Structures are given as C-alpha cells and as structure tokens.
Amino acid sequence: MSKVKSITRPILTSEEYFQSIRDMGTEIWAFGEKNSEIADHPLFFPHVNAVAKTYELAPKVKSHISGKDISRFNHIHQSTDDLVKKAKMLRVLNQQTACCIQRCAGMDALNATYIVTYEIDQKYGTDYHERFNKFLSYVQDYNLVTIGAMTDVKGDRSKKSNEQADPDLFVHAIEEREDGIIVRGAKAHLTGVTGAHEMMVFPTENMKEASKDYALVFSCPVDTPGITYIFGRQTNDSRKLEKGDIDKGNAQYACVGGECIAIFDDVFIPWEDVYMYKEYEFAGMFVEAFATSHRQNYGACKGGICDVLIGATYGIAKANGVEKASHIKDKIGEMIHLSETLYASSIACSNEGRKTSSGAYIANTMLANVTKLNTTKFIYEVNRLAHDICGGILATLPSEADFIHPEIGPLLEKYLRGIPTISTNEKQRLLRLVETLSGGTASVEAMHGAGPPQAQKVMMLRDANLEAKLKLAQKIAGISKSEDTI
C-alpha cells in the first residue's frame, strides 16, 4: 500500500497534525503561484486549522477491525446509533469553527468503499474488500485525514464519459501494468486538499460497459507525483492576505472547505490501492452510497454554522437596540425554525438507517436526500433573514484599516456605534462574521455540495414508489383495480 512517506507515527494532537501537513509539503497553485508551505500560508491556514479542531474535539470510538480507539472520522458505522452520533459530532464541530471541517467527505468515502467493495467481491470473487480493509486499518492506526474526490469536470454535460470529444474530462485508466494502473483526468470541487493526507477517488455517474475504463475507485496520498492542485477562489479570499483579522470575518478558520481542482497527469496507482477496476455496473452503487452518506451530514453541519450565524445576527440586533422588536423576534424565530428543521432531518435519516450486506450501516436514502434538498433552500432563507436584520451596513462597512486610522477611526467609532453598552468594534466584528457566513461561496456550497437539487429529486422520485402510493389513494377513494393494471 502506498503511504505518505513523511508520516512515520500516529497523529495524536492538533500540533502533530499541523506538523504532518508541513512535512508532506503538498503543492497547491493559487493566484498564479505554487505554494508548498500550506499549513502556515495565510490563504490556507484557516482551512488547515479547521481540520486541526477535529483532532481536539472528535470523539474516539472502537474500531470494528482492530478494537483500538480511533477517531470517529475514520470509523465504519456499526449501528444507527453510530449514524446519529456522527450527525451530533458534525453539529458541535461546526458550532466551534463556523465553517466546513472538511473530513466528512473522507469519512463518507471510507464507508461507501467498505460497503460496495464487499458487494463486488460477492459477485466476482475479487479481493477489493480485503485490499480496502488494509488501507482502512492504516488510516485508522495513523489517524489520517482522508478526502473524497467524486465530481469529474464532465465537459459536455449532454454526453457520457466515453462520449466526450476529450477523453480526459473524466478520470480514467489509460494503461494497465503488472504492478498497477496509470490514470489521467481531473476531479473538481475537492474539499479539504489543503489539510489532507489521503484521497479516495470515485466515479461520478452510473456507467455501462462502454464506459468501463472510467469505472475506477482508488486511494492515493494527496502528494502523489503527477497530481496538480489548483485552489478555487472564494468570497473575499484576498482579505486573508491583508493585515489584521476583523475583515477576514472568520480569521481563525475559513469560509468553506478550501476546494481545489485536481489534475491527474498519468498518475501511477498500485493495484493494492485499487478498489474497483472496470466493474462498471457498480459505479452507480458507489455514487449512491457516497451521496447518501454525504447528504446525511448537511442538516447537522449547516445547523452548527447556523447556530453561529443566528448568534451573530442577534448580536447585531442587540447592538442596534432592536432585539425586542416583534418583527426582529419573528425573523430570528424563523431562522431558528429553519436551522433546527435541517438538523432534525439529519437525525431522522440517521435513525432510519439500515444495515448493508457488509455489516456497515448507511443512512436512509430518501430522508438523506430530503435533508440535502432542504439545505439548498433553507440556507438561502436563513441568509436572507440575516441580511434583512443586519441592514445595509453589512454591504458598506468600511475596512479595518479605516477603523484603526488615527484620523478617521474615531469618526467611525462615534457614528457607527449602536447602544452605549456594545462597542463599535464588537458590532464591526459581528457584521464581518455575518458577511462571511452568509456570503456567495458559503451559499453556493450549500446548494451544490453533495450534489445540486436535481440530483436529490432524481433519487427521491426513484425511491418514492409512486405506484404504491397510487394504490393507497385508489383504496381510500373506492377505486377497484386488478393488480395487472397497476
């Protein structure tokens, strides 16, 4: 199994985690420059720091493989209770960081691979499940951070992977060797590259035999030779390069997950790290297992961030002396309702989870998709209400440099103050935090992370069993139909 060579012992603390990222020296392009000192670069540090928080707060659980204490982020769910505890953990972590903590996609990728490799082996007698368990044990024992890479860049969306004019628009195998395969292509929207050790790569769609070269699942260290990472711009990201911390909004952590495009330029993957190779009929199962696990998270993650956003919005209402106004209380009450509904959805799909043939548990697919679909709508409304309550100053607040300037700073302190007991500095900091949490990149992530709304609707329609619902209606309405007409 290929390992990150710089990691020679288990990572036990956030300090050791930071050092592991420094030792790896993963190179990421941003603003036209290649950066290798990721853990200490102001553009990337907040993302790495958010992951570091998981080393401080994520609970331990017994590995079902070794019996050792491991991070819940590297655990294979053994019950619906595990699924519920996962959701609760994500809410707490997002309350503490107010941003994406970036490890859930890796956690979901590990669980999906465990489930589907078992199914492939049952049909074909392959040893993918055994291979994966060796990798999983390594990740658990060393307490590594894994990320999931699912979304291909796709090119012409009206065509399947094998129909593209450029075959590299989906990750695929271009060569088969005795010791492994060579892969080429690109994956988009990779959350957490800045702070990860290992990557799990999946197909992004159902496949038929013509697409079998694209039916790949494998793992690799993020610093594997031949992979180029290009960092995606985020709302107000250049503020991270400025002096001071107020204008950054969430200076210690981040906005979302530090997404990158990853380009695989003839990358070698040894067979021991390959968990599906051309078994195209299982590509859709991988997609569904990963998507269900990942969509399960969104009500908990966004619920935690909403807790911070609601608190900041309420703080601004207090600074303005309007927190007791009936219309403000009504709007904050609606924000709470929407946030708690999202969290309730995550808890519900977790409680209604099921045991798979592998022994691992997965969330209820229908309710997980409901969770994510609600997220694509409710977060925008929560953000809108926050903008409504905060007022126009949210969009026109002067810079931190102006506030500390000896000539104009005192003027801003005087004229932008609210009630006497809350300082202008506190109001300024809360406004910047609301701006960060409710801004463009954060909203788009809520919409498209774990798949856009149409993806959820497709799966919900598939699982809804409309014909059975029609039978229920016919029975109540007194309509007699023979079975062969349904």
Q: What is the pLDDT of residues 128-177, one digit of tens each?
A: 999 999 999 999 999 999 999 999 999 999 999 999 999 999 999 999 99
36 pLDDT exceeds 70?
yes
Q: Look-up: residue for tokens 């195998």?
A: 173
4 pLDDT exceeds 90?
no
117 pLDDT exceeds 90?
yes
Containing structural domain, residue 75: 14-285
Query: Is 56 in the active site?
Result: no
Instruction: Please name every residue paired with 230 in a beta bridge, in sequence order, or none if there are none.
Output: 29, 261
Q: Which two tokens stand for residue 275?
A: 């968990």
**Which among 194, 294, 361, 400 is annotated as catalytic?**
294
Residue 171 inside a domain? The answer is yes
Query: Is 99 in the active site?
Result: no
**Which among 198, 259, 279, 400 is annotated as catalytic?**
259
**Which among 99, 220, 255, 301 is annotated as catalytic?**
301
User: In CATH, what number is assigned to the domain containing residue 312?
Assistant: 1.20.140.10
* Mode of pairing for the β-strands spanning 172-176 and 60-62: unpaired
What confidence tier does 256 reach under pLDDT thresholds 50, 70, 90?
Answer: confident
Output the pLDDT for position 485. 47
User: In CATH, what number is assigned to the domain containing residue 54?
Assistant: 2.40.110.10
**Mean pLDDT, residues 82-103 taken together:** 97
Output the pLDDT for position 326. 98
Q: Please state the residue numbers annotated as binding site.
A: 191
Residue 8 inside a domain? The answer is no
What confidence tier does 258 reach under pLDDT thresholds 50, 70, 90?
Answer: confident
Q: Which two tokens stand for residue 290?
A: 């990963």
Same domain assignment for residues 23 and 148:
yes
Q: Please state the residue numbers annotated as binding site for FAD.
A: 191
2 pLDDT exceeds 60?
no
**Which among 54, 117, 191, 365 is annotated as catalytic?**
191
Q: What is the pLDDT of residues 12-27, one digit of tens each?
A: 999 999 999 999 999 9
Q: Are residues 249 and 235 in contact, defined by beta-carbon separation less than 8 angstroms?
A: no
Q: Which two tokens stand for residue 216?
A: 């790949």
**Which among 118, 298, 314, 343 is annotated as catalytic?**
298
Residue 216 inside a domain? The answer is yes
End-of-domain residue from the set 285, 320, 354: 285
Q: In sequence order, which ranges of 25-125 are alpha helices (DSSP H)?
A: 45-57, 80-97, 104-124
Residue 290 inside a domain? The answer is no
Same domain assignment for residues 181 and 82:
yes
Q: What is the pLDDT of residues 298-336, one digit of tens each?
A: 999 999 999 999 999 999 999 999 999 999 999 999 999
**Which among 99, 100, 220, 260 is annotated as catalytic?**
100
Residue 206 inside a domain? The answer is yes
Same domain assignment for residues 186 and 323:
no
| Alpha-carbon gap, residue 245 to 11, rounded angstroms | 29
Please state, rounded to an integer, the average pLDDT across all residues of the chain: 96
Same domain assignment for residues 190 and 322:
no
Q: What is the pLDDT of residues 42-73, one digit of tens each?
A: 999 999 999 999 999 999 999 999 999 999 99
Query: Is 260 in the active site?
Result: no
Query: Is 306 in the active site?
Result: no
Residue 7 inside a domain? The answer is no
- φ/ψ of residue 155, rounded to 5: 60, -120
Order of all β-strands in the sheet with 227-231: 33-35, 28-30, 227-231, 260-270, 180-190, 172-176
Same domain assignment for residues 381 and 246:
no
Same domain assignment for residues 378 and 280:
no
Same domain assignment for residues 63 and 186:
yes
Output the pLDDT for position 481. 74
Query: Is 275 in the active site?
Result: no
Same domain assignment for residues 275 and 316:
no
Q: Are residues 433 and 249 in contact, defined by beta-carbon separation less than 8 angstroms?
A: yes
214 pLDDT exceeds 50?
yes
Coarse DSSP helix, strand, coil percentages of the chain, rounded to the nearest 5 percent: 55, 15, 30
Query: Is 229 in the active site?
Result: no
Same domain assignment for residues 24 and 85:
yes
486 pLDDT exceeds 50?
no
